[in-house]
Amino acid sequence: MKFKKVEKYTYVEDKHKPYLKELSEFVSKSEYLPKYHIYPKSGLMNDPNGLAYFNGEYNFFYQWFPFEPTHGMKHWGYLTSKDLLTWEEKDIALTPDMEYEKNGCYSGNSIEKGGLLYLFYTANYKTENDRIPKQAVAIMDKGGNIEKYINNPIIDGAPDNMTGDIRDPFVFRKGEKYYMLLGAKSKKEKGALLLYTSEDLLIWNYMGEINLPIDTGYMLECPSFIEVEGKDVIILSPMGLEKEELKYQNQFSTVYLVGKLDIENMKFDLEYMDEVDNGFDFYASQAFYGKDNKPMMVSWFGCGEQDLPTDKEMWKHGLTMPHTLRLVENRLCNFVSEELNDLFNDKNEFDSNIIKTKSNSYHIKFNMRKEDENKWVRFGYENDYWELNFDFDKNVIQVDRSNLKLKVDINNGLKRCAEGLNKEEYKVDIYVDNSFVEVFINEGMKSFVFRCFNLNNEEHNIQFTHANKGSINYYNK
């Protein structure tokens, strides 16, 4: 098909719809498409936004530039699901068609009040050399009608010591009050977390910066706040953390803090912190309460600026599966939400060192034991595979993409590690979905989210060092 070039800040109007339809038909022929991960019909998908269980269903929004696989004019795409298994694609929820959001409807979250879902977002507004930070709200009723608030922006401009980079409102309720976290860059070029408060979700007052006892890099994006098993958890996406031997290897990082948010003293009493995930393609997590108030999280299946083989196919990135959050010894565990196991109904057991798979969409489960001297497992073909390996002595688990023919994001390295599990045996759950892979160790004590572009033929081999037992359940919805 013939691609049309659009100006970077073009928003979708009716006149574009026939072209976008043609584009999505082109994308639907891509050899790298997943079956059970959310991905864009065309163009670029990034952060999950406004995640909510509202009106008896899951409402997921996401950052979307539909015209090209680049970071252009951001819209809020929208999907709903009753069960997290089947998704219904809805019309675009937020189109940046107002002057105050002339450079895009950026990320934010949502909160329910009085039977309405309030969608908070950053109205991206660029000046010649800077940005004027503006936060906005749109209100959705139970019929799915969305209206931008007439007095938007609800916050306009930056506090004194902050730059124009302030974004990604995350609103939550504590007691009788609402609070909004915002990610920011201070004039001293440090990541900052700002707090506002409101009684009605419309009028907001600035409270100041929350003192965080961690390295915040040069900018914080996408804050989240959630209570998990009685503790406060903050999730942040800092930019510019220095790479350590085994940590912070991606262009940008996502970290969690467990402890207590002390609003009175504008500080976070930290008990534990770590990276949320150890994979190559993970960023901008958003936490939310699912059905029955279950603490959950979805993240962008991507990170920063990367060239990917799907660029020429006119789509890029996706979202992780929905994850459930738990705390184990103050560690934040994120594991695929149990509902999703119903996607894998073709159940099989194995006891061997090589499995020939029936397809490239499955959930494989096995244990790795120190005593068995089983050191690695490989996914792919003889000279084209990715590997998960286990160093029991050092207690390090590694994902290695160096034996793939088609390598991506090489500048940020080909291996990723997780350390400190301290076990003689690891429980491993791997969800493969063509080019989308999610690995979980010990039910989410550690995880690796990443892309691999080698399984685009239907079947391949999974090979262990020695015979191993386990189950492989294929996607067959």
Q: CB nearer to ligand FRU: give 158 or 388.
A: 158
Could you say whether residue 63 binds ligand FRU (CB under 6 A)?
A: yes
Amino acid present at 429: D
Q: How far is the CB of 9 from ligand FRU (least distance, A)?
A: 13
Within 321-350, which residues bind ligand FRU (CB under 6 A)? none
Identity of the residue, 144 or 159, whose beta carbon is nearer to ligand FRU in the bound complex: 159
The binder of ligand FRU chosen from 107, 254, 278, 334 (CB under 6 A): 107
Residue 221 binding ligand FRU, by CB under 6 A: yes
Asked if residue 106 binds ligand FRU (CB under 6 A), the reply is: yes
Q: Whose Cβ is closer to ligand FRU: residue 11's or residue 386's?
A: 11
Any residues with CB less than 8 A from the CB of 28 and at least 6 apart, and which?
Answer: 41
Site residues for ligand FRU, window 66-105 (CB under 6 A)? Answer: 74
For the bound state, the minimum distance from the C-beta of residue 288 to ligand FRU, rounded and expressed in Å, comes to: 16
- Biggest CA–CA distance in the chain, Å, is 65
Residue 101: CB minimum distance to ligand FRU, A = 12
Q: In which residue are the tokens 């930290």 written?
A: 270
DSSP for 405-463, please give it: SS---GGG-SEEEEE----SEEEEEEEEETTEEEEEETTTTEEEEEE-SS--SS--EEE
SS3 361: strand
> Considering beta carbons, is residue 61 or 106 the nearer one to ligand FRU?
106
Number of H helices, E strands in the chain: 1, 32
Site pattern 154..173 for ligand FRU (x: CB under 6 A): -------------xx-----
Report in angstroms how near the CB of residue 363 gets to ligand FRU at its nearest. Answer: 28
Helix (H, G, I), strand (E, B) or coil at 283: strand
End-to-end CA distance of the chain: 31
3-state helix/strand/coil string of 168-237: EEEEEEECCEEEEEEEEEECCCCEEEEEEEECCCCCCEEEEECECCCCCCCEEEEEEEEEECCEEEEEEE
What is the spatial distance between Cα 82 and Cα 58, in angstroms, rounded to a whole number? 6
**Single residue of 122, 253, 278, 337 touching ligand FRU by CB under 6 A:** 122
CB of 47 to ligand FRU, least distance (A): 5
Minimum Å gap between C-beta 169 and ligand FRU is 9
Among 139, 222, 258, 314, binds ligand FRU (CB under 6 A): 222
**C-beta closer to ligand FRU: residue 93 or 445:** 93
Compute how many other C-beta atoms are within 10 angstroms of the C-beta atom of residue 86: 10
232 binds ligand FRU (CB under 6 A): no
* Residue among 69, 76, 431 nearest 286 (CA): 76
The β-bridge partners of 474 are 346, 362
Rounded alpha-carbon distances, angstroms, from residue 292 to 15, 56, 120, 296: 42, 11, 23, 11
Pairing of strands 315-316, 43-54: parallel
Position 316 contacts ligand FRU (CB under 6 A): no
CB 165, min distance to ligand FRU, A: 9
Q: What is the nearest approach in angstroms of ligand FRU to the Cβ of residue 49?
A: 8
Element (H, E) at 35: none
Q: Does position 306 bind ligand FRU by CB under 6 A?
A: no
Cβ proximity to ligand FRU: between 49 and 357 the closer is 49
CB of 303 to ligand FRU, least distance (A): 8
Positions touching ligand FRU (CB under 6 A) are 46-47, 63, 74, 106-107, 122, 167-168, 221-222, 283-284
